[in-house]
A and B are shown apart, each in its own frame.
Chain A
Amino acid sequence: MPEVIPADSVGLVEPKAIRFDQSLPLNCGEQLDSFQLMIETYGELNPARSNAVLICHALSGHHHAAGYHSMEDRKPGWWDNCIGPGKPIDTRRFFVVALNNLGGCHGSTGPTSHNPKTGKAYGPDFPVVTVADWVSSQAMLADYLGIEQWAAVVGGSLVGMQTLQWSIAYPERLRHAIIIASAARLSAQNIAFNEVARQAIMSDDQFFGGRYLEENSIPRKGLGLARMVGHITYLSDDAMGSKFGRELKNEGFSYDFNVEFQIESYLRYQGESFSGSFDANTYLLMTRALDYFDPASEYENSLSNALSRSTAKFFLASFSTDWRFSPERSREIVDALMDAGKDVTYLEVDAPQGHDAFLIDIPRYMRGLAAYMNRVAQECL
């Protein structure tokens, strides 16, 4: 609820739906005859069309990365601390494009969209998209916007996979790849967490095999549980300890199984608010897309071979207490890039916040990213 829009904010922004009436062949063998992507843009595209930056989103993100939709908004976009005039991704210098991925539930074509073949929502019939499909659709978006080459493709967490895929599939279409707190593929542990989340959703009796919308219902419990598990992995043990400790919600124990500890209350709140705003089929799709991604698998399990064609310069950062995508996972990418002789810069930031650190103003991280983006901007002229 900003009384006044801060000077370093992109201000009031409006999302835009872009329709594509071209078919998009998907990895799974199916194709979408037409689709829509929801986007937001901040800043101006320069005459040379060389200053465009693509912001992809992670699991539960969307196109609203910065600014406010109205003066009534409680919070700005999800990466507002990084995007804006004078911020590391400086909208006075860059034309920033953020989108909702295909299969999403914030306006881009996905399971909640109308299926032209049946006249009903796609629901579980929406094809399983992959990271490569996302990037193909983003390339079509770049064509639509008249952007031949991105100055940078940027993002944290699972977005790093989309950035990697960009540099492998369209090496000539990006100059810089910025990958924060990510991994080149999910580990067995990561997949295990995704599976728990999916099982929570699919075993909810309101799931109806994915056709809950037709039943006028939502698998609220399952989706909430999935989000609770997710939130545990986003925070470090220390961060959770210092935020909640063993603090009780009420005075003394009540000797039952209602909310006793603050951490329970926090997780339930996160689960409930998420389940009211996110689509369960989208959650299944997105986690699956991430499970599948493994660019090295097509190159004899060598990530450096997979990256050999890429011409982008890379910037990576990781956070010491991130256990969802630990620094080791980022180092795997850095080592592969060095092995392939690519330009790469890597920061390993000491931060107590866990995986969530990538969204937080940590001075060292912000300064490093800003210094790098400054270089990217200098090349745009």
Chain B
Amino acid sequence: MSRGDFEIIRDWVSPGSRVLDLACGDGQLLHELHKEKQVSGYGLEINSQNIEACIEKGVNVIEQNLDRGLGNFKRGSFDTVIMTQALQVMHFPHLVLEEMLRVGRQCIVTFPNFGHWRCRLYLSAYGRMPVSKFMPYTWYDTPNIHFCTFRDFESLCREKNYRVLSRMVVDQSYKSGLAGRVWPNLMGEVAIYHLTAG
């Protein structure tokens, strides 16, 4: 079983390259990248069940809290640093991005779009923070502390002089549709960005 965003990411990772996966979850992405593209690397994770799942898969998992930074990795020690669906739980997302692009030559990051029409409609119709199946948490008890929209993210990239190598905008089931391509910030639910330092 593979998540849709993993399929997209897989195409962006070169065979045999060295990858660091931040908040790697149960290690599925690294496992697939290793099996299908002979990619080597490590996953950083703090959830104990996820760590056990990684060990069972034979994925190199390191227990490390990302909010403590990546100071233990040298500049350019990985080809690609990946972070899927975790940017919004970081205390300092901009610093994490900066670190990702110091440690890796490129980075791939995915995050939910708070500018999606359903979020906008929810907020304007109910006047309350959006809660959905996709984002099921209440505002006061949520791991997601830094939501942003695509436009917010791109403005950060411009400010930091990051170059967007590719960008995919997909819906909840990780499919890319015409509407998402035309009005990404309104129609896209998940963004997948491939960046490099400018």
Contacts and interface: CB of A to CB of B under 8 A. Distances in A.
A114 interface: no
A285 B51 CA distance: 39
Contacts of B66: none
Contacts, number: 44
A345 B55 contact: yes
Contact of A344 (B48, B60, B77): B60
Interface residues of B, number: 19
B121 to A, nearest CB: 42
B62 A345 contact: yes
B58 A338 contact: no
B10 interface: no
What's the dominant secondary structure at chain B's contact region?
mixed
A344 B42 contact: yes
A39 B51 CA distance: 35
Contact of B55 (A338, A339, A372): A372
A364 B63 CA distance: 12
B52 A339 contact: no
B35 interface: no
Contact of A348 (B40, B55, B63): B63
Nearest to A331: B72
Contacts of B72: 331, 335, 338
B52 A371 contact: yes
Interface string B45-56: 000100110111
B74 interface: yes
Contacts of B48: 364, 368
A344 B58 CA distance: 10
Contacts of B52: 367-368, 371
A345 B48 CA distance: 13
B14 to A, nearest CB: 16
Interface in B27-68: 40, 42, 48, 51-52, 54-56, 58, 60-64
B175 interface: no
Nearest to B59: A345
A234 interface: no
Interface string A359-371: 0000010011001
A350 to B, nearest CB: 9
B18 A346 contact: no
A346 B55 contact: no
Contacts of B18: 341
B61 A375 contact: no
B42 A374 contact: no
Interface in A42-56: none
B40 A341 contact: yes
A334 B62 contact: yes
A344 B62 CA distance: 8
A62 to B, nearest CB: 30
B73 interface: yes
A263 to B, nearest CB: 32
A343 interface: yes
Contacts of B63: 346-348
Given A331-B72, A339-B74, A345 B56 contact: no
Given A339-B77, A344-B42, A371 B60 contact: no
B62 A368 contact: no
Contacts of A371: 52, 55-56
A64 B135 CA distance: 54
26 contacts: A331-B72, A334-B62, A335-B72, A338-B42, A338-B62, A338-B72, A338-B73, A338-B77, A339-B74, A341-B18, A344-B42, A344-B60, A344-B62, A345-B54, A345-B62, A346-B63, A347-B51, A348-B64, A364-B48, A368-B48, A368-B52, A368-B55, A371-B52, A371-B55, A375-B56, A375-B58
Interface of B: 18, 40, 42, 48, 51-52, 54-56, 58, 60-64, 72-74, 77
User: Which 9 residue pairs spanning A and B have beta carbons closest together?
Assistant: A371-B55, A348-B63, A346-B62, A335-B72, A364-B48, A371-B52, A372-B55, A371-B56, A347-B63
